[in-house]
Structure 1
């Protein structure tokens, strides 16, 4: 059960994360209209295309199942985006989910294209089930990099995911350089395994071999205390 103390801590945590964003010149908005989101992200120079799992022409993204976060600079220009979705994995584990093209498309036969394949070789994915939140499509404009905003990116995502869904797990799929440079540590993810998503979608120009990184619900609930003290410098 979610205690009042935990709720208060998360409120303070979200405020601290937003404050970090504001100090860096980012004003945050959220929404659940993914037609609007894709229209925005398709115009961002230097950002790769939004994957099918966050595109309403490929996936089911009803209100309550997915939301996006957009950060704008003081002039109103988009400087940051990320998105999250919730999957109910009660009769399937994350390895099976990621190993199926249905992780990316509502109807793979219509949308995936020829030569498409997907698999997950991360061992722990076999034990990730229940309410599982996916955190992806993360992009930060080049002139905002190097300002310590990885903490903000993870913090605002984790806080909102907990407030909306209280998931059993939250995970992301990241390229190897995120591991090598410690980016996932700054996001706040505690676990990682290679070959979490070996995905080939030739028709979409996607050829990935990403790491799986994740947090359990208990670890997510500890984030306000640990990140606000260790990273935001407050209690």
Structure 2
């Protein structure tokens, strides 16, 4: 776990089979303030990277998530300077207009092929949720995921209980990004309940 995103990018850029990290977590594009963003990297028994994910929290007290995404400020500290020509984002998820306050973003989630299908999604998301709760207790936590993650039920395994299509129709031509992602999210109360439930289940398993 760390907060140095120069280090994070140096690691993730060398991972075969992983898509490039989005601008949200790139220090050359985003302002990743100390205490407001962190990453988690998991290694296998041989010290080889098997998993990565990153989180950051945005202050959306004077705006909402839909406006934040559409302005491209979710990706870039200064869209006018950092965004390439013809870059755009459209958010058609209705609830995004009501997501405000301190809002945590959970992204860049990657798991190596040989670890997939082993029921790790819930555990890995639980690590991120627990750390985000301890650090920020944000009003919301959200992720943007491709339709296949919804169709395969992986978003359910993560623990997210809300979802809406077309949360981020993102075009970054200079980065070869053309995505139409679902918005998935939890409220502060739901995240707290999820963490408590997971902790209780863990204790019960250990005692059984």
Partner of 2:81: 110
Query: TM-score by structure 1 length?
Result: 0.85
Question: Do the aligned residues in 2 keep the contact of 1:72 with 1:78 (CA within 8 Å)?
Answer: yes
Superposition RMSD in Å: 1.4
Partner of 1:86: 57
Match of 2:9, SS?
A: helix
Partner of 2:111: 140
Structure 2 CA distance for partners of 1:49 and 1:233, relative to 1, 3 Å: farther
> Separation in 1 of the partners of 2:28 and 2:119?
34
> Separation in 1 of the partners of 2:146 and 2:23?
18
Partner of 2:93: 122
Deviations 1:71-112 (A, max 9, x none): 011111100000000001010001111111111111112221
Match of 2:171, SS?
A: strand
Match of 1:131, SS?
A: strand
Partner of 2:34: 63
1:227 CA drift (Å):
2.9
Deviations 1:18-37 (A, max 9, x none): xxxxxxxxxxxx00000000
Gaps (5+ residues) in structure 1? 1-29
> Separation in 2 of the partners of 1:146 and 1:122?
29
Question: Do the aligned residues in 2 keep the contact of 1:151 with 1:231 (CA within 8 Å)?
Answer: no
Question: Do the aligned residues in 2 keep the contact of 1:173 with 1:210 (CA within 8 Å)?
Answer: yes
> Separation in 2 of the partners of 1:177 and 1:50?
19
Question: Do the aligned residues in 1 keep the contact of 2:71 with 2:79 (CA within 8 Å)?
Answer: no
Gaps (5+ residues) in structure 2? none
> Separation in 2 of the partners of 1:79 and 1:213?
24
Partner of 2:16: 45
Count of equivalent residues? 206
Of 167, 170, 183, 2:154 maps to 183
Partner of 1:226: 197
Match of 2:103, SS?
A: strand
> Separation in 2 of the partners of 1:150 and 1:183?
7
Question: Do the aligned residues in 1 keep the contact of 2:121 with 2:154 (CA within 8 Å)?
Answer: yes
